[in-house]
Structure 1
Amino acid sequence: MAKKKSVEKKKAVDFSLLMTTLILVFIGIIMVFSSSWPEAMQDFGNGYYFLKKQIIAATIGLFGMLVCMNIDYKVWRKYSTLIYIVALILGALIFTPLGITLKGARRWINLGFTTFMPSDAIKIGSIIFFANFLANKKKDISTIRQGTIPALIVIGISCGAIYVQKDLGTTLTLAGTMMSMFFIAGMNLYHLIFMAIGAVGLGVLALSGEHNAYRRNRITAFRDPFAYKLDIGWQAVQSLYALGSGGLFGLGLGKSRQKFFYIPESYNDFIFSIIGEELGFLGTLTVILLFLLLVWRGIRIALSINDTFGCYLATGITALITIQTIIHIAVVTSSIPTTGITLPLISYGGTSLMVYMSAIGILLNISRHANLDRS
């Protein structure tokens, strides 16, 4: 009997999810190298600067994914409160002498040998804590006093910890992720009306005041980017130029013109436009299909696990990747106002890559316990 139980615990992980993740990371390394070459040469005199850092992050991320893949996901429930508190403390450290300002924003912690972006830790820490919260409240989740109000407090604290870093894009991503988890857990849809009113109020607050003028400028530029193509609409216009010039097959790997200082953060916030320029419509379609496959496997895992905590945790990780991917692609295609947000697993950024790969490791471990086809 003990032997049979041991065999059940050694189920294989979801192979499709594992391979899709590795392919996306590989594409990311190639595209980061291609899109970062001009800036790396100008700022560091070494075209391989960003490539080396991305490979190191991918290697650490792979190790993290393998470790998390082999740790029973139920362990995260046991330590969910501690993980959440540590994540919030890391977020608070940006307001200490350890916090540094890069590119006009104070969102990084200087560890001496490298920098760390705590918002990524807050995202995954919030998902783990909220999954445990929802699992504990499953009988009362539709009530306003036991369900909606406590859930909104948790969402507010999590999103507020990122919003104070003046990172509205990541705040919206996390808010959408946690609301997706809340919806799946069985929230009262009538309460959604009041949440929507509150969200509108917060939106007005986020746009009001002199210190938020740059956000209003982004909305103005979004309405007609070509009318402000030499000013606030520059990023959106250059991104559209990149996508348009790529055509069906692209200009060829490494042959992007827009990465030569036309698109700021071409290897980060606008990497999808460089993919479109160099690899064309077929390249962008391939990346989108890979993300769709990843999301589909995540949904299958969430639906196939009997444990409520596992279901909500899988939902949160999958929703986070889905929402952030959609926002990134929408920004690059000028479908929404410009906001700085990375493309998961592909954009340059060590913290983001390591956290996302580790999160997928957790998802892979959940797949070991799910009743699904592992092909």
Structure 2
Amino acid sequence: MQNRSAGKRRRERRKADFYDYNLLAVVIILICFGLVMLYSASSYEAATKLGDDMYYFRRQALISLGSVAVALLISRMDYHLFLKWSPYLFGLSLVLMAMVKYTSFGVEAGGAKRWLKLGIQFQPSEIAKIAVILFLSYIILKMGKQVNSKKAVIFLLFLGGVQAVGAYYFTENLSTALIILGISCVMIFLAHPKTRPFLIAVVVIALIVAAGIFYLSQNMDGSSHFRIRRVLAWLDPEKYSAMGGYQVLQGLYAIGSGGFFGKGLGNSTQKLATIPEAQNDMIFSIICEELGLFGAILVLLLFGYLLYRLFFIAQNAPDLYGTLMVSGIFVHISLQVILNICVVLNVIPTTGVTLPFVSYGGTSVLFLMAEIGIALSVSRRIRFQDEVSPQKNGENILTNHG
């Protein structure tokens, strides 16, 4: 009798398991759509420069297929395993970024030294994004109620700042540093009960940035520093077309010429060597030119649904650790989407941030899919029956999982 009742409870638990197939489906749709647009945007450049119009498409397709497999593998793991390994991953990411600057394994491409070649070539700064999400979640969990104190907030900001400074100093990647800092601030904001200090900090930062931009626009006509050139090109792309404004202008021309339904898939004219490396961070402009406003809205709806699924998982996660990790992933993806589209529309200066799952970049797709795998792993632990009570006590989680 006892064996029968125990078997019944196990069957009920299995029925209560949840796996977010909707999240997996929307990510796969974005990857497939990205591959189609990648081939359309890169085929001319690949054929003229490399003699193979499928070069970029083939590489991205193989990496994307492997990345989906990695995500599925991670999704079958217990996400609490990351509690043990997150400090080591945090340190490893800093070491790998330092190797870019100080060892011969660092690789320079496109005027930037951001890649590391250890058998395979990848960007260590992408690992830093995952590392800061996992490690801050672990530290916040370990702090418990002490996270409310000023010392705790300063310490958490210091940890996020270490990764951000590492990304900026070791790989000269300001956009990644800002994303890491943004992830850190939002995760601390979610864990902290008070809202007012964060709102004040946002206003102060915004005023400082606005003052800096105003100073540059009034006192500098040109500079040898590429970041200042980017700001000047953003303020007046026509005047500073030779200093980076040319790509922005061509991207805007592409968007404007697309109309509502676009010129048709493959019919972009701006991709014909007018927009350099259109398959990277400017691919959204090609989407707008070929598929029009309709295609742009469709892409935004897909990203909106992806973020909604992440929000759903974070809200229903069985414990605080799962909520924090998925929230960090949500912030990371949303920041990249917002920054990329704002750059293409010339709302902000050029940052070099790719459009997640759509732009060309093997490292970006691989580690983004690793994050999706973590979110799916959390989703598998969601229960909708009373017999499996959600565990929100961070101290118990740390005790049970090392």
Q: 1:119 to 1:202 in 2, by over 3 A?
A: farther
Q: Distance in 2 between matches of 1:258 and 1:29?
A: 19
Residue from 289, 300, 305 that aligns with 1:293? 305
Percent sequence identity over matched residues? 35
Q: Which residue of 2 aligns with 1:141?
A: 147
Q: Which residue of 2 aligns with 1:267?
A: 279
- State the shift of 1:355 in Å: 0.6
1:1-375 equivalent positions in 2, closer than 5 A: 1=6, 4-5=9-10, 8=13, 11-95=17-101, 96-112=103-119, 114-145=120-151, 147-164=152-169, 165-186=171-192, 188-189=194-195, 191-192=197-198, 193=200, 197=204, 213-371=225-383
Q: Secondary structure in 1 aligned to 2:138?
A: helix
Output the amino acid matched with 2:336: Q
Output the amino acid matched with 1:176: G
Q: Distance in 2 between matches of 1:139 and 1:2?
A: 39
Deviates more, 1:234-243 or 1:206-215: 206-215
Q: Distance in 1 between matches of 2:211 and 2:223?
A: 13
- State the shift of 1:306 in Å: 3.2
- State the shift of 1:211 in Å: 8.5
Structure 1: give runs of 5+ residues left out of the alignment.
none
- State the shift of 1:166 in Å: 1.6
Q: Secondary structure in 1 aligned to 2:238?
A: helix
Q: Secondary structure in 2 aligned to 1:369?
A: coil
- State the shift of 1:271 in Å: 0.7
The 8 Å contact of residues 79 and 377 in structure 2, kept in 1 or not, is answered as yes
The 8 Å contact of residues 14 and 368 in structure 1, kept in 2 or not, is answered as yes
The 8 Å contact of residues 230 and 243 in structure 2, kept in 1 or not, is answered as no
Q: Distance in 1 between matches of 2:223 and 2:124?
A: 23
The 8 Å contact of residues 41 and 271 in structure 2, kept in 1 or not, is answered as yes
Output the amino acid matched with 1:284: A
Q: Distance in 1 between matches of 2:274 and 2:144?
A: 50
The 8 Å contact of residues 229 and 243 in structure 2, kept in 1 or not, is answered as no
Q: 1:118 to 1:202 in 2, by over 3 A?
A: farther
Kindly provide the CA deviation profile for residues 169-199 of structure 1, in whole angstroms up to 9, marking residues without a partner as x.
1111121112111111116445434686578
Q: Secondary structure in 2 aligned to 1:100?
A: strand
Q: 1:213 to 1:17 in 2, by over 3 A?
A: same
Kindly provide the CA deviation profile for residues 44-101 of structure 1, in whole angstroms up to 9, marking residues without a partner as x.
1101111110011101101111111101111111211112112222211202110011
Kindly provide the CA deviation profile for residues 272-293 of structure 1, in whole angstroms up to 9, marking residues without a partner as x.
1111111111111111000000
Deviates more, 1:276-285 or 1:203-212: 203-212
Q: Distance in 2 between matches of 1:219 and 1:198?
A: 17
Output the amino acid matched with 1:108: W
Normalising to structure 2: TM-score of the pair? 0.86
Q: Distance in 2 between matches of 1:99 and 1:309?
A: 34
Output the amino acid matched with 2:271: K
Segments ≥4 residues shifted beyond 6 Å = 198-212
The 8 Å contact of residues 99 and 109 in structure 1, kept in 2 or not, is answered as yes
Q: 1:285 to 1:150 in 2, by over 3 A?
A: same
Kindly provide the CA deviation profile for residues 310-363 of structure 1, in whole angstroms up to 9, marking residues without a partner as x.
000000011100010000000011111111110011110111101111110110
User: Which one has more relative contact order, counting CA pairs under 8 Å at least 6 apart?
Assistant: 1
Q: 1:32 to 1:105 in 2, by over 3 A?
A: same
Q: Distance in 2 between matches of 1:372 and 1:218?
A: 50
Q: Secondary structure in 2 aligned to 1:219?
A: helix
Q: 1:212 to 1:292 in 2, by over 3 A?
A: farther
Q: Distance in 1 between matches of 2:357 and 2:116?
A: 21
Deviates more, 1:291-300 or 1:11-20: 11-20
- State the shift of 1:102 in Å: 0.5
Q: Distance in 1 between matches of 2:251 and 2:59?
A: 25
The structure with more radius of gyration: 2
Structure 2: give runs of 5+ residues left out of the alignment.
1-5, 386-402
The 8 Å contact of residues 234 and 349 in structure 2, kept in 1 or not, is answered as yes
Aligned pair count reads 371
Q: Distance in 1 between matches of 2:240 and 2:13?
A: 60
Q: Distance in 1 between matches of 2:256 and 2:355?
A: 20
Q: Secondary structure in 2 aligned to 1:82?
A: helix
Output the amino acid matched with 2:154: I
- State the shift of 1:4 in Å: 3.2
Normalising to structure 1: TM-score of the pair? 0.92
The 8 Å contact of residues 25 and 58 in structure 1, kept in 2 or not, is answered as yes
Q: Which residue of 1 aligns with 2:389?
A: none
How large is the RMSD of aligned CA atoms in angstroms? 2.6
Q: Secondary structure in 1 aligned to 2:374?
A: helix
Output the amino acid matched with 1:78: K
Q: Distance in 1 between matches of 2:90 and 2:224?
A: 29
Q: 1:32 to 1:242 in 2, by over 3 A?
A: same
